[in-house]
Structure 1
Amino acid sequence: MKFDRSGVNALMEITSRPELVFVRGQGSWLEDHTGKRYLDFVQGWAVNCLGHCPPEVVKAINEQSARLINPSPAFYNEPSMELAKRLTGASCFDRIFFANSGAEANEGAIKLARKWGRLNRKGAFKIITFDHSFHGRTIATMSASGKPGWDTLFAPQVEGFPKADLNDLDSVRALIDDQTVAIMLEPIQGEAGVIPATREFMQGLRKLADDHGLLLIVDEVQTGMGRTGKLFAYELSGITPDIMTLGKGIGGGVPLAALCAREAVSCFEHGDQGGTYNGNPLMTAAGVAVFDTLTAPGFMDEVNARARQLSEGLLALSAQWGMQGERGEGLLRALMLDRNDGAAIVETARDWMPEGMLLNAPRPNLLRFMPALNVTAGEIDLMLQRLDEVIGKVRAA
């Protein structure tokens, strides 16, 4: 298969892409148009929680597509109800609204919190978020995010998102006023470089929210669905949020997300929320397959075993190369480099070897790892071995 330049020119230019076309994938491996294989430790930015083309998801999609694809969200469908029951049964939440992307789920969380504020806090609408956070690419979720420069990129912003500092409870407390309705955060800031909120900070936020009558919203688009070694990252802190958003891994590769809320917060009225494709049976059938796989006996034990292996391997590499260590939870981890050669390592890993490797550098001095949750011990060892070789190649040059 030749690289199709006319196809490239037909696509809107929104990011820099290498001149390769992926044509098939299985598990932790991808293959491009030339037949070259790649060990994938990005997995669509933590989307493919069971790897590429997992048999469980493929089977669910094939069977559901022959039965019913989209009857309209104005009607009930069986897979959406089955997935909603599973999510509420496994969490502290009572109600689920299905969406198509994490940004859309976060938009829903913002709307729900503001509606709750109008009903319960005299119109309070401000939601405290955090510097360096990432909540999506819609206008409202970009305004909620703390990425540098996003406050002017598509100005004017949506108002009402004052920014605090992660793991600094006093910085949150200082922003609370009579117009504050909620606090919203990622339990681990992924785009910022895999920075976890501490257990103490999460617990402090819950108490602060309770003391002031505020909602606590956890954006688990990246951390949810087993990524941190628990089904949901909020469980690591032993707290009960009021609202949670899910995306990425919930569909195992298909467009699916969820807005989850406790009963007391579920104040949408008819017409407040909706969407043409939301909760359609094709996507939610895939979600059921993903959920049942993640919650099967022993699956999360294996995730945590692989997480320990990856952490220990990254620490060994760090010590060998004089780097700054590693951090993260479960199979969302980062290697902190001692210099700004992250992009060079990513490019060399992809292109240099006969078999490539896909890595991610969200910061110049940091590599992020988001393998499939069913990655094998052998695949982690292979990645670590090849990463060592790639670092040597980059730094020799």
Structure 2
Amino acid sequence: MGNKQVLIDRAEAEFYKTYNRFPVVFDHGEGVYLYDTEGQEYLDFGAGIAVMGLGYNDSEFNEALKTQVDKLLHTSNLFYNEPAIEAGEKLLKASDMDRVFFTNSGTEAIEGALKIAKKYAYNKSEAPLAGKIHDHEIIAMNHSFHGRSLGALSVTGNDHYQEPFKPLLPGIKFADFNDLDSVKALITSKTCAIIMETVQGEGGIYPATEEFLKGVKALCDEHDILLILDEIQCGMGRTGTMFAWQKYGVKPDVMTVAKALGNGVPVGAFLASGKAATAMGPGDHGTTYGGNPFVTAAASKVLDIFEKRNLTDHVKEMGDYLGEKLAELTGQHQMVTGQRGIGLIQGLEFSIPVSSIVSQALLEEKLVLISAGTNVIRFVPPLVIGKKDVDEMIKRLKAVLDQQS
């Protein structure tokens, strides 16, 4: 193992400065624990930002990757490959969607979803004199987060992220999440899609209400608008169903997924159903790496493991337990002003910025937590946690909060 400070100094001399990283160099992981280059053990309740659903060093998952490494890593989408076909079948079965396109990331999945919406509207628009029209509009949500590329950033409802990079995509309007009237007020004849996270993550862990999601779906059906649900963080079993929208019985026209789909291997996907499934044709979209045999072998094995181990039921049980323990903690500390979430995507809201709490938990209690905005700590642990892990997390977090009080 290298000296921690030497490694940090090397990184600071090399990396483009877009992150303020914590002074920890992680070396390996086991289960729900991470280990740094100094040999110290950390309890992980961030899962690499909701990525490591199976935790670290899962032997069955690792073996699938090792096997594929020895067979074939990449061929391009000019050809077929068996792992992609198998992963696609399993993902479509889990989601009840009709078509899938594998990407390299969640952000790229969002880009594909936006292109489906624009192409769908383009296909059905025929102005008598001008031919096809292009001034289509998309409704997104305030306080949403969909990614950092220019298209995804355009539908991200946070001006702080957007301001330095304007002008962004035209025709984007922002409604208030869980306020159906605010959505209705923005719909025009130009609206081609409504995009939202089923559970807002970065915006503070806000689940959609059933009334809101069903109301938006009804508006989409009424106006022939595509409903795009971003399940990149809240999908893949994290809420206790394979995808969060399945709790509501509201099936989207387009869905995006990534993060836990690859359990650390960079893979995402956008999926389309019904009228959206045939909107784009050959030449409309592409990717060099997306859907290669290695990443789809990872996704295929993840989907196998989810089904074989019945992880969604486990998440329901652990989510209820985590929620109970967080609620108890809320009642014990005045600075904690709220608690919300579903399954293993939970949030604690504070009356103060949480950056110092997150940092202290990491450095003093060896507890990995991440924030969601300025004053919310989000809990998105590996889906394989047990009650003892929740108890240990609460013990360590309580020690930090007792010092902060």
What is the TM-score with the length of structure 1 in the denominator? Answer: 0.96
Q: Could you tell me which residue of structure 2 aligns to residue 33 of structure 1?
A: 37
Q: Could you tell me which residue of structure 2 aligns to residue 345 of structure 1?
A: 357
Q: How does 1:61-80 map to 2 (within 5 A)?
A: 61-80=65-84
Amino acid at match of 1:12: Y
How far the C-alpha of 1:264 sits from its partner, in A, is 2.3
Which of 310, 319, 325 lines up with 1:298 in the alignment? 310
- Check conservation: 1:95, 1:263, Cα contact below 8 A: no
Which of 331, 340, 344 lines up with 1:327 in the alignment? 340
- Check conservation: 1:83, 1:288, Cα contact below 8 A: yes
For 2:373 and 2:153, the matched residues in 1 are separated by: 19
Q: How does 1:238-387 map to 2 (within 5 A)?
A: 238-266=249-277, 267-296=279-308, 298-322=310-334, 323-337=336-350, 339-353=351-365, 356-387=366-397
- Check conservation: 2:205, 2:372, Cα contact below 8 A: no
For 2:181 and 2:125, the matched residues in 1 are separated by: 22
Amino acid at match of 1:97: F
For 1:379 and 1:18, the matched residues in 2 are separated by: 23
Is the alpha carbon distance of 1:151 and 1:300 closer, same or farther for their aligned partners in structure 2, counting shifts above 3 Å? Answer: closer
Deviations 1:22-52 (A, max 9, x none): 1111121111111111101011110111112
How far the C-alpha of 1:394 sits from its partner, in A, is 2.1
How far the C-alpha of 1:301 sits from its partner, in A, is 1.4
Amino acid at match of 1:168: D
Amino acid at match of 2:387: A
Residue aligned with 1:207, SS? helix
How far the C-alpha of 1:20 sits from its partner, in A, is 2.0
Deviations 1:199-258 (A, max 9, x none): 111000110111111111101110110011100011111112100000101111110000
Unpaired segments ≥5 residues, structure 1: none
Deviates more, 1:290-299 or 1:246-255: 290-299
Q: Could you tell me which residue of structure 2 aligns to residue 150 of structure 1?
A: 161
How far the C-alpha of 1:325 sits from its partner, in A, is 3.1
For 1:156 and 1:381, the matched residues in 2 are separated by: 47
How far the C-alpha of 1:152 sits from its partner, in A, is 2.1
Is the alpha carbon distance of 1:352 and 1:329 closer, same or farther for their aligned partners in structure 2, counting shifts above 3 Å? Answer: same
- Check conservation: 2:107, 2:148, Cα contact below 8 A: yes
For 1:181 and 1:299, the matched residues in 2 are separated by: 36
Q: Could you tell me which residue of structure 2 aligns to residue 233 of structure 1?
A: 244
Q: Could you tell me which residue of structure 2 aligns to residue 9 of structure 1?
A: 13
For 2:322 and 2:149, the matched residues in 1 are separated by: 34
Q: Could you tell me which residue of structure 1 aligns to residue 215 of structure 2?
A: 204
Q: Could you tell me which residue of structure 2 aligns to residue 116 of structure 1?
A: 120
Amino acid at match of 1:15: Y
Q: Could you tell me which residue of structure 1 aligns to residue 129 of structure 2?
A: none
Deviates more, 1:259-268 or 1:313-322: 259-268
For 1:288 and 1:151, the matched residues in 2 are separated by: 35
Residue aligned with 2:308, SS? coil
Deviations 1:293-347 (A, max 9, x none): 112253221111100110000000001113323101110000122x214111111
Percent identity reads: 39
Residue aligned with 1:333, SS? strand
For 1:142 and 1:365, the matched residues in 2 are separated by: 22
Q: Could you tell me which residue of structure 2 aligns to residue 188 of structure 1?
A: 199
Deviations 1:36-70 (A, max 9, x none): 11101011110111112322221111000101110
Residue aligned with 1:241, SS? coil
When the two structures are aligned, how many residues end up with a matched partner?
392
- Check conservation: 1:348, 1:394, Cα contact below 8 A: no
What is the TM-score with the length of structure 2 in the denominator? Answer: 0.94
Deviations 1:131-154 (A, max 9, x none): 010010001110111012233221
Q: Could you tell me which residue of structure 1 aligns to residue 89 of structure 2?
A: 85
Amino acid at match of 1:316: E
- Check conservation: 1:46, 1:249, Cα contact below 8 A: yes
Which of 81, 101, 122 lines up with 2:105 in the alignment? 101
Unpaired segments ≥5 residues, structure 2: 127-132
